[in-house]
Structure 1
Amino acid sequence: MDVSKYIDYTLLNPTSTERNIIDLCHAAKRNGFYSVCVSSSYVALAKQLLENTKVKVCSVIGFPLGSTATASKVYEAKQAISDGADEIDMVINLGFLKSKNYVSVFKDISDVKLAIGKKTLKVILEVSELNKNEIIKACEISLDANADFIKTSSGFSKGGATLTVVKIIKKTVKDGLKISASGNIKDAETAKKFIDIGVSRITASSDFKIKQSV
């Protein structure tokens, strides 16, 4: 299995420099990764660096807390698309979800999806902060809001993807949403375990070991 084509190569450290983004994009091209994921301020640079390649550009929105106003998320998403983003990863509003304010959770997601049209929208949960019922509800709302992916975590909380959580998500969304596994995945062998149970995308950073056994 060629794990490379599943990889969203990600650099979201707030101290990341332009040189870091250049290196990220060069590594993505060299390894044949699916995309790079960068902060919205670096979308235009990444798009320029990846011109005439198959590597897509993804931008995070409402990152990393998800608690910004929906209108702010919409504006940021529109700007990222204008700057060249192919995909948007938005963080769900955990406070609304835990308040059982499901109408606002739905509107938050659906307004961003409407703003970006046919571009791919991933909804980032923070699975380490949610119980099983909250994860299931977030998935159901994301389905209703016409998102394209559920993503397990931002990478900025205390935990990330587990095989158990991914199985819960898969059972809930079936084929209605794709799954992006983020957090705790440091090598190709681990990535393959997630892919084998139905994950379509893997978030990886610079410490990811792409070399894999045959």
Structure 2
Amino acid sequence: MQLPTERELAATIDHAILKPDLTRTDVDAELDIAAQWGVFSVCVRPSDIAYAVRRLDGTGVAVGTVIGFPHGTTSTTAKVAETIRAFEDGATECDMVLNIGALRSGFDDVVADDIRAVVDAAGGRITKVILETSLLDDEQIARGSRLTEAGGADFVKTSTGFAGGGATVPHVRLMRENVGAPVQVKASGGVRSLDTALAMLDAGATRLGTSASATILGELRAIHAGETASGAVDESSY
């Protein structure tokens, strides 16, 4: 694929700030990284939403959060309540973990109803559904993707990053193949280098979840800087 500009790549990134042991100082540092690099959004812990909204005010960086994270096993009622509160606190998007056990059990109605309830609670705001692909086989990933679309969500997403595995190119392709064009794919978990980020986008992802935004965008900046320097040398040789 053609190398994107730094702004184009930054516009695909949800900078993840989700580790349970992060202190306020750690969160501040990550929010500053997001603002410095101009990523699309941060994805923060629910308890950090209101603070992140205040701190990022005026930067152009949106604030998203997670629902039923990281296991997806909270009740639908709890997920709905969490979703409502998240948007009241200022979130603009949410990434919910579907009921993984229900999906593996073949309880498709339970999964779709769970998704639909959160989508309804989001009231038209962007909702992404995390499948946790490392715990699923290909049939389950394909079915989970279709149920995500059936539930009315905007994105299907690979992983939380907390289940011992992350996004893979084959899984992103499989997800892309099993949803219609209006549903987008988010690759998350293990996206820590420019090469990996570009591979996920080439496979069909349109959003990347990563805590390595500075590394990825820094690599791209260095490449573009090298191209500019090479062009300048070539021009001066005429």
Considering the TM-score relative to the shorter chain, is it more than 0.5? yes
Structure 2 counterpart of 1:78, which letter? I
Q: What's the offset of the Cα at 1:207?
A: 7.4
Identity of aligned pairs, percent?
A: 36
Distance in 2 (alpha carbons) for counterparts of 1:200 and 1:68: 28
Where do 1:54-203 residues align within 5 Å? 54-203=60-209
Query: CA offsets per residue over residues 178-202 of structure 1, 9 Å max, x none?
Result: 0110112111222012112221111
What one-letter code is carried by the residue in structure 1 that aligns with 2:199? Answer: K
**Letter paired with 1:173:** V
Partner Cα separation in structure 2 for residue 20 and residue 117 of structure 1: 32
CA distance in 2 between partners of 1:176 and 1:161 (Å): 21
What is aligned with 1:36? Answer: 42
Counterpart of 2:232 in structure 1 is none
Gaps of 5+ in 1: none
TM-score normalized by the length of structure 2: 0.87
- Which structure has the bigger radius of gyration? 2
Q: Taking structure 1 as the reference length, what is the TM-score of the superposition?
A: 0.96
Segments ≥4 residues shifted beyond 4 Å: none
Contact 2:80–2:117 (8 Å) recurs in 1: yes
Relative to total residues, which structure has the larger helix share, 1 or 2? 2
Q: Deviations over 1:14-69 (max 9, x none)?
A: 11111222111111111011110111000000000111222110111101000000
1:7 to 13, 24, 28: 13
1:157 partner amino acid: A
Shift of 1:208: 5.4
1:51-90 Cα offsets, whole Å, 9 max, x none, are 1222110111101000000000000111010000010000
Q: Could you list the runs of 5+ residues in structure 2 that have no partner in the other structure?
A: 225-238
CA distance in 2, matches of 1:208, 1:139: 30
Aligned-residue RMSD, C-alpha: 1.2
